[in-house]
Structure 1
Amino acid sequence: MNEKTSRTAEIRRIARVEQSRAERMLADLLLDLFAMPASDLRINYDQYSLNSLNGFFSCDGEDFFFKFHQEEGEEDMTGEYYRADILANAGLPVDQPVHMSVLPGEQILIYRRRNDPRFSDVLRELDLTDDPEERTRAIEAERNLSTKLLAVYRETLHPISVDEAAAEPIHRLFHERLIDPATRSFPGGRFADFYMGKTFRFPGVELGWDEFSHLKFVINGRRYGSSIGELFHAAYVRLNPSRLADNGGVVAHGDAHNANVWYTAVSGGKAQLSFFDPAFAGSNVPALLAEVKATFHNIFAHPFWLYDPAIADRTFKASVRRDADELHVETDWKLAPVRRSLLEVKAKHLWRPLLGELKQRALLPDDWRMVVRLALFLCPTLVMDLRAGARSHTPASSLIAFCVAVMAGSPPEHGSDDIGRFLDMIDPES
């Protein structure tokens, strides 16, 4: 096997079509990397494993949990994955792996198996059936974690150089997905693979990329000023790693969506949260990016439309008509009560005081709203192909998906929406 071959990429590819073979390949990988003869190895399949693979195995009478994140072309990338020690040393609650490989193309973490649910599973149940008592417990756990995160961000916030900003692996979740990993050219990467030259099917409307990318969305009567194509280009320009040193750096997990967070019951009927899978953790993470993935994927990606499109299709209505250079959309999708509560906690206990700290230290750029919006926009559009039929989306869920992405990236020309109100809530000058 040559040095440019990614074994984890091959295992992910095989797992989609032949699970038993992929499990044998994983067992060989574990034996090669850690001298662990795995038995009863099982790959898990869930809606949150969009760019990763996880599962369980036993070895010498002990049970383990494995997980790896895999990006296209990562064997050609520089920088270090999986720096759990950075988070632990900063005082953040993080589950430490018992074995770890950071070799390009062979990056994998091994944990002792736990019986705790992931926070994502707890919240999904609340999306399906609201339980005020359980919701209160979950929100308190989120508030406590936000308090810890804010303390770490304040303590570790520092000016960073362009080179330090650019070296952080978090950019693989944003800018790196817009460009070709080998040539660094734009458009490329997932952006080109997912959307350019492709067909977009919505209820009663079918469009090619050249048309779709230039249309302006009018969502429930509110017109948004930037098209999908304009937002991708703006993200390519402003989220270039060389331009993100202006907001300082912090120690951060960087990809703390709630499928990377354990939810552990503790005494007094309470719960506490702890991280795992710190694939993109760093000590110079641009401060404005630190909480973007957690904010979008734990709040605005719900309920259902990103991770459970079939349920979204049954639960929400979405219709569209084209009028000249506009797409007029009507939808009844909205945040569930638990997601609104999470948003309020994130805004009040983390984002607003963090931005206040940045402003006080002259590290808050004038266009901070644009930076946050563009990063939020890239969260859904490049985590998976949002087109109907490409993966799991239906025409209706795909329409909702692109609506939420546009609302994230572009303010409405008149009125306000959930994301605009969130940005108003966190504005340190409001």
Structure 2
Amino acid sequence: MSAPPLARLARDQYLSGDEPAATRSLTELIRDISDREVAGVAINRDVYSLNSLNGTVDLDGERFFFKFHAEEGEDDTIQEYYNAELLQAAGYPVDVPALANGEPGRQILLYRLRRDPRFSDLCRGLEVDGAAADTPEVREAVQAQRDLDAVSSARMRETLHSATAAELAAEPVNRLFRDRLFDPADDPAGTAVAGRVARFYRGKEHRLGGARTVILDDAEFFAARWVVNGVEYDRTVGELFDEALVALVPERYGPAAVIAHGDAHNANVWFERADDGRALLTQFDPAFAGRHVPALLAEVKTTFHNVFAHPFWLYEPAIATERYSASVSYADGRLVVDHDHDLGALRGAFLDTKAELIWRPLLADLHERGWLPADWRRLVRLALMCCPTLVHELRAGGPTGHTPVSAAIGWSIAVAAGAEPVAGDDVFTEFFAAVSPE
């Protein structure tokens, strides 16, 4: 049997724990595709890059940043190069790769190395320090986010158009949502929930709680009715995944489409400064961008990850376990969770900005054109729910380091995003009320 192509080989070697071998494979690949002297390949240990490998390399003494996707069944990272050009032509602030290779199994992109921090790293620093809403640093971060959201909103509204169901379905952004709910190789039509749901959660034990841990088998977990911080929700985790598989299809959310990044959460955004010192944000890593991105999905991932998925509980569960608490009880099919996680000043301001500058005007445009589905809230909610549950395993004791505390918080937020309160309000109902054009 012949050896796998070098990018795929490097991915497998790194994920198996053999970083030296992965480094050698990457050195050989980059030398082959660049025809330049290669030295100093270093793979980044990056909690945000859950489904890709990235790092730095010297080419003839010039330092570059490299990356390629390492997600199962996805070997088309080269499309990111063309997506970057598409976004640039549409007027988005985006970093375009300096070198790209698209051979199957050897896909890799190289960007000229920046010394700018990612916006996620800057925001994390503010949150570690517990910065208040009225500090200059937080105000600058919020203003930078507002400026980017204003540009993104304008570009989406300018490129808003009608697309066919086939065009919408072909967009790579679908891989972030419905496509992770089933096994395309065995079930190309997506008739049954499987995919990451089965791999991450089926047939496994689910441990939730703090000082006292509730242990459920997968049947109990998927069928449980949730009560979170006193609010009862109307759907189980199993019902949410079943509904998402049926609902997140072009026939339900079409025909509205836009040119958009699709995955512009703040770990895919550079923080830089203009010559006058003003903070600027620039997007990169547009692997899921496209010309016909479903308008209702275009900002879902960005909204969830920039606002609800942080601080800490999704990417750094050990820190979440130190900072937050969760108590859990289970009886008669009801899972009662009380936790003390909140958005904090920075994330709360980001939510207000998303509501004001992105969602409210976009939904108003869709409503005016007659393109806003009657059940748009359900569609957006289900897509929001997919973000934390399908990006990586949100189960305590699994390979991603989640604890019973972080899993309880994460699932509580996911259920609140996707389900509806039986009575009362929460942060999601308030958000939908704020952006609704009806």
Q: 1:78 to 1:304 in 2, by over 3 A?
A: closer
Counterpart residue type for residue 94 of structure 2: V
Counterpart residue type for residue 216 of structure 1: R
More displaced 10-residue stretch of structure 1: 134-143 or 124-133: 124-133
Kept after mapping to 1: 8 A contact 2:363/2:372: yes
Shift of 1:33: 2.7
**Which digits, 9 at most, give the CA deviation of each residue in 1:247-274, with x for residues without a partner?**
x110010111111100002244420000
**Which digits, 9 at most, give the CA deviation of each residue in 1:89-114, with x for residues without a partner?**
00100011001133443332110001
Who is 2:166 aligned against?
163
Shift of 1:60: 0.6
Find the aligned partners of 1:101 and 1:364 in 2 and give their Cα distance.
39
Shift of 1:128: 1.1
Who is 2:197 aligned against?
191
Find the aligned partners of 1:79 and 1:363 in 2 and give their Cα distance.
32
More displaced 10-residue stretch of structure 1: 84-93 or 104-113: 104-113
Kept after mapping to 2: 8 A contact 1:252/1:281: yes
**Which digits, 9 at most, give the CA deviation of each residue in 1:39-59, with x for residues without a partner?**
011001021111111111101
Who is 2:262 aligned against?
254
Who is 2:424 aligned against?
415
Q: 1:314 to 1:78 in 2, by over 3 A?
A: closer
Find the aligned partners of 2:402 and 2:232 in 1 and give their Cα distance.
24
Find the aligned partners of 1:79 and 1:371 in 2 and give their Cα distance.
30
Q: 1:79 to 1:113 in 2, by over 3 A?
A: closer
Shift of 1:329: 0.5
Q: 1:105 to 1:379 in 2, by over 3 A?
A: farther
Who is 2:246 aligned against?
237
Who is 2:292 aligned against?
284
Counterpart residue type for residue 231 of structure 1: L
Counterpart residue type for residue 170 of structure 1: V
Who is 1:45 aligned against?
45
Who is 1:71 aligned against?
71
Listed as ranges, the matches of 1:23-422 within 5 Å are: 23-75=23-75, 80-82=79-81, 83-129=83-129, 130=131, 132-183=135-186, 184=188, 185=190, 186-203=192-209, 204-246=213-255, 248-390=256-398, 391-422=400-431
Kept after mapping to 1: 8 A contact 2:77/2:108: no
For the residue of structure 2 that corresponds to 1:256, the secondary structure is: coil
Find the aligned partners of 2:78 and 2:418 in 1 and give their Cα distance.
28
Return 5+ residue gaps in structure 1 as ranges.
Answer: none
Counterpart residue type for residue 74 of structure 2: E
**Which digits, 9 at most, give the CA deviation of each residue in 1:55-86, with x for residues without a partner?**
111011100001122321125x8995541111
Q: 1:255 to 1:116 in 2, by over 3 A?
A: same
Kept after mapping to 1: 8 A contact 2:252/2:373: no
Equivalent pairs: percent with the same residue?
A: 48
Shift of 1:415: 1.1
Q: 1:6 to 1:134 in 2, by over 3 A?
A: farther
Find the aligned partners of 1:166 and 1:15 in 2 and give their Cα distance.
32
- TM-score normalised by length of structure 2: 0.93
Find the aligned partners of 1:347 and 1:313 in 2 and give their Cα distance.
29
> What root-mean-square deviation, in Å, do the aligned CA atoms of Structure 1 and Structure 2 show?
1.8
Shift of 1:31: 2.2
Counterpart residue type for residue 166 of structure 1: A
Shift of 1:303: 1.1
Counterpart residue type for residue 241 of structure 2: F
More displaced 10-residue stretch of structure 1: 297-306 or 188-197: 188-197
For the residue of structure 2 that corresponds to 1:416, the secondary structure is: coil
Counterpart residue type for residue 148 of structure 1: V
Find the aligned partners of 2:409 and 2:38 in 1 and give their Cα distance.
42
Find the aligned partners of 1:151 and 1:101 in 2 and give their Cα distance.
32
For the residue of structure 2 that corresponds to 1:312, the secondary structure is: helix
Shift of 1:241: 4.3
Q: 1:141 to 1:78 in 2, by over 3 A?
A: closer
Q: 1:21 to 1:267 in 2, by over 3 A?
A: same
Kept after mapping to 2: 8 A contact 1:175/1:241: no
Counterpart residue type for residue 182 of structure 1: A
**How many residues are paired up?**
426
Kept after mapping to 2: 8 A contact 1:44/1:55: yes
Q: 1:79 to 1:93 in 2, by over 3 A?
A: closer
Find the aligned partners of 2:300 and 2:88 in 1 and give their Cα distance.
21
Shift of 1:208: 1.2
Counterpart residue type for residue 307 of structure 1: Y
Find the aligned partners of 2:182 and 2:231 in 1 and give their Cα distance.
31
More displaced 10-residue stretch of structure 1: 96-105 or 407-416: 96-105
Kept after mapping to 1: 8 A contact 2:157/2:362: yes
For the residue of structure 2 that corresponds to 1:262, the secondary structure is: strand
Find the aligned partners of 1:205 and 1:105 in 2 and give their Cα distance.
43
Kept after mapping to 2: 8 A contact 1:99/1:111: yes
- TM-score normalised by length of structure 1: 0.95
